[in-house]
Amino acid sequence: MNFFWGDERFVARDHPDRNEKQAREALLDHLPVDPSRVHVMAPSDGGFGNDATAVANAYQALLCAYGRLDRTPLFDICLLGMGEEGHVASIFPDSPAVLEKQREVVAVYNCPKPPRTRISLTLSAITRSREVWLMTTGEAKASAVATLMEEGATPQQLPAAGAQGSSATRVFL
């Protein structure tokens, strides 16, 4: 089993907001997982320095090494949170990342939530999952969940609407 990241906040390796740090503390450090099967996105103090685009390109190459980029499923399960405005991974409403169709991984600049720079899978990559699991909690996200459950929401307005698995999409509230 391999673990890949859906997105990462482009901060230093030991920054408390780094998704990798949180995922290791909450889950991966408690499982018998071979470290070579955990594929993280490089931090801002890593080998690519402060070049988020280079990190996105390297992660794109990594995904190419693990799966064909011919639209076949790349992931068994893609587990995503959903933000108050309906963002998934680091794909925010009306951002250039929501429109990306050619790439599986992008650098996302000027995010509306800090940190402003992130690395993210695109909806194109997310839809290459057999199943997409969206998890969300809290009253502040109720409006976005209601919009998601209605037919007709566009990914540009609500990126979570574009996060669809090839076999199933599940929403956990």
* Percent of the chain residues past pLDDT 70, beyond the cut: 97
Give this prediction's pTM: 0.92
What is the rounded CA–CA span in Å between residue 105 and residue 62? 10
Q: Give residue 27's domain range.
A: 3-172
7: buried, middle or exposed (CB in 10 Å: 19+, 13-18, 0-12)?
Answer: buried
**Residue 163 belongs to domain with CATH number:** 3.40.50.1360
How far apart, in Å, do the first and last CA atoms of the chain sit? 26
Mean pLDDT of 140-151: 91
| Average pLDDT of the residues of the chain | 93
CA 28 and chain centroid, separation:
17
Provide the token pair at 30.
């408690």
Provide the token pair at 86.
């309906």
Q: Which residues pair with 108 in a beta bridge?
A: 118
Digit-coded pLDDT (tens) for 40-85? 999 999 999 999 999 999 999 999 888 765 656 689 999 999 999 9
Domain count, the chain: 1
Site of tokens 């955990």: 38
- Residue 157 pLDDT > 80, yes or no? yes
pLDDT class of 33 with cuts at 50, 70, 90: very high
Give the model's pLDDT for residue 71. 58
